[in-house]
Structure 1
Amino acid sequence: MRRRLALLAVATTSLVLIAFLVPLAVLVRTLAAERATAAATTWAQSVATAAALDDPKVLEATVRQASGAGGVPITVFLPGHGFLGAPAPRGPGVELAARGRSITVDTPAGREVLVAVQGGERGTVVVRAFVDAERLRRGVGWAWLVLGLTGLALLLVGITVADRLARSLIRPVGQVAEVSRRLARGDLRARVEPAGPPEIREVGSALNHLAARIRELLAHEREAVADLSHRLRTPVTALRLEADGMRDRDEAERVGRVVDSVERMVDQIIREARRFDREGVPGCDATRVVGERVAFWSALAEDQDRPLRLDLADDPITVGVSEHDLAACVDLLLENVFAHTPDGTPFAVGLTPRRPGGGARLVITDEGPGFAHPDPTGRGVSGGASTGLGLDIARRTAEESGGGLLARTRASGGAEVVVEFGPGPAR
C-alpha cells in the first residue's frame, strides 16, 4: 500500500509538473529569442535612421559602431548590388524588403531583421541585422536547468508527503494485523489503540469488541467445563470409599492408586479450564516427567506380567509443554497400551533429544495386535470400546509445542506411537 501511494504521488505530481513546466520552458525559449530579436531590431533601426540621411560617411560610421557595440552583424544593402558592413547573401527576404516592407525572416542559421529605408534618390536601402541561433538561445539552458531542478524538488516533496500519508495509514493497519495475529496465537488480552482515519479507527474498535466477546465466550465455556469436571468429584469420592472398604489390602492399594490418578486428572481439568490465559511459554523437564509416569504405571505392568523396557536420556530435556500436560499425554498413551493389549504383552518407552531444534522424541511401542484403523489419530476414531480421543489429545499437545504425533502398526507387529515435542522456552 505504501509503495502504491508513492507511485500514485509520483504519477500525479509528474503530470502536474509536465503540464506546468513544458509550457514554461517553451515560454522561456520564446522570450530569449524575442529579447535577442528586439536588441537586433534596435540596432537595425539606428542604422536605418542614418541611412535615411543619405550621407554615405555617416552611414558607414554608424554601421561600424552598431556592429562593434551590439555584437550583431549589420549589413546595409544599397540600391543595385552594393552593400556596407558584414558580407551577407542577398536572399529572398532582402529582395522582399527592397520593395519597401520591413520584415523578420527565420533561417536555418538564425534570424534576419530586415528594415526597409525608402525615399533615397537611388532607391530603397535595406538594413539587415542577423541574430544567430546561439544568441537566440542564450540563457535558455540555465533557465531550463533551474526549471528541471525545481520540478525535481517538487517531485521529491510530493513523494515525501505521500510517504508520510502512507505511514499514517499503514501504521494503524499494521497494528490491527499484529493484534489479529496475537489473538490467533491465543493472547486474548491483545487490544488495538484506534488511530488513523475514521474508517481504520472503526476497524480497530470492532476488533477490540470481537476480542472482548471471544474472551467472554471462552470464559463461559471454560467455567462450564470446570463445573462439569467438579461434578466428577462425587463419583471419584465414592470410588475412594469403595476402595478403602475392600478387604484385600493389596487390591485396595492398587485401586486407590488408580483413583488417585483419576482425581489428579479431574483436578488438572479444573485448573486448565479456569486458567484463562497462559502466562508465557510453558516448559518442563521431559526426562523427569516421563520417568515419574512410567514408574507409576510400572506397578500395574508388574501386576499384569507385562515386561517393560525403559530408555531415558541421561540429561534433562526441556520441552515446550507444561508438566501437567506432558504427564496427561504420557498417561493417555500408556493407558491405551494397557486397555488395548492383553495381559503379559511387552511394551517399551523411549525418550531421546529431538534433533534438530531441540525438544524431545517420545516413542512408545508394544507387541500387541496394533491399530485396527489406518489413521488412529483422528478424533473419535477407535478400534475398541474407548472414546477415541486419547491419541487426538496427545497429538494436539505435541502440535501446540511445535511437534507432532505419528501412530502406526509396525511391520513386525504391534503398535508404535512417536510423539515429538518442540523445544522449551529460551533461557
Structure 2
Amino acid sequence: MKRRMINSLLGVVLVVVVVFCAPLAVVEKKSIVDSAQDRVSAAAVRLLGLVETRLSAGEPVTGERIGAQVIEGDYAEIQIPGQALITIGTKPAGGNPLTATVPGASGETVTVEQSRSDVDHEVGHMLLLLGLVALLAVQAAVALAVWQARRLARPLTDLVETAERLGSGDPRPRDRRYGVAELDRVAEVLDASAERIGRMLTAERRLAADASHQLRTPLTALSMRLEEITALAHQPDTVREEATIALQQVERLTDVVQRLLTNQRDTHGPSAGGFELDEVIRQQREEWAATMRGAGRRLVIEGLAGVVALGTPGTVSQVLATLIENSLMHGAGTVTLRVRPSGSSVVVEVQDEGSGVPAELGNRVFERAVSGRNSTGIGLAVARDLAEADGGRLELLSLRPPVFALFLNRPTVT
C-alpha cells in the first residue's frame, strides 16, 4: 500500500513538472534568443547611424574610425555604394550566427553578426536551473509521499493489530485517533466492539464464578440428604421424607441454574409477586438442619409468622441460603433467622454468635473477591445482586454480632 501511494503521488508530481517545465523552457529559450537578437539589431541600427552621420558630414568611413563603436565580439559589414566592403571584427566561427541587416537612406547597408555561443550558454544555465527546480520538486514530492503513506498506513496497521487482539481474546480498546475522519470512525467502531466483547467476556467469567459458588451449597446439602437416605434405608418413612427433601434440593438446584442464566440474559429480572415467607423459611430450616447438627450448631427461627412478601421464592431462598452458609463457615454458635417489620418492608435478619465482620471490611464484604477468611469472596456479592434484581436489598446492619438483613417489599393493600 505504501509503495502504491508513493508511486501515485510521485507520478502526479512528475506529470505536473513535465507539463510546467517543458513549456517554460521553450518560452524562456525563445525569450533569451529574442533578447540577444534585439541586442544585435540595436547594434546594427546604432552603427548605421554613425555611418550616415559621417557620410552627411563628408567624412570618410573606415573600419579604424568607427570600429570602436562595435561591441567587442561582434562582426560588422558596411556596404557603401561606390566603395569597397568595410569589415569590422572577426567573423563568428560556426554556423547560424545571430544576424541583423539594416539598410540606410543613401543605399548603404550595415550587417552585424554575433556568435550564438553566449546565447547557448545562457540557455544552458536556464535549463540547468529548471532542472534543479524540477529535481527539488520531485524530492519534495517523494518526501511528502513517504510521510503521507506512513501517516495513512500506520492507522491501518494499528486497526489490524486491534482486530487481531479482539480475535485473540484481548478486548482492551486502544482509544487512538488519527485525524482522518474515516479512520477515526473505524477506530471508534472497533473500540466500541472491544468494550462490548469485554463486557460479554466479563459476564461469562462472572457467570462461571457465580455458578461454581452458588451451586456448591445445594449440591452439598443434596449430598448430605442422600447420605442420610443411605444410612436410614431400614426406616421407610424416614427414607421417604429424606427423599422428598432431596427432590426439593434438586428443584432448588435447577432454580439456581435458571436464575443465574436469567441474570446474565435478562437485566430486568423476573416479575416479582407475592409469596408466603414462612414457606421459604421452613424450607431453609429443613435443608440446613442436618448440616447444623453435623457442625454441632443450631438454626433458630424468630419473629413474625404468616408474612407475605414481594419477590421470587427461589431468589429469596438462594439469598438466605448464602447468608446461612456464610454464618456456618465464618461464624460460631447459634444462627438466628429473625423476621421483623420495617415500615412498608419486611426484614429477614441472619445473625450468629461469632466474632463478627472485621472493622476494616465493613460494607466491603459485598464486593467481589473481598473476604475476611480464605474463601472466594463471591457469595455475598452474588447474594446482593440477586436481592437487588428481585426488587429487594441486602445490607450489613451490625459488625459485632454480625447481622445481615434482607429487605423485601410487602404487597400494597387496596
Q: Into which bin does the TM-score normalised by the smaller protein fall?
A: 0.3 to 0.5
Query: TM-score normalized by structure 1?
Result: 0.46
Whose radius of gyration is greater, 1 or 2?
2
Query: TM-score normalized by structure 2?
Result: 0.47
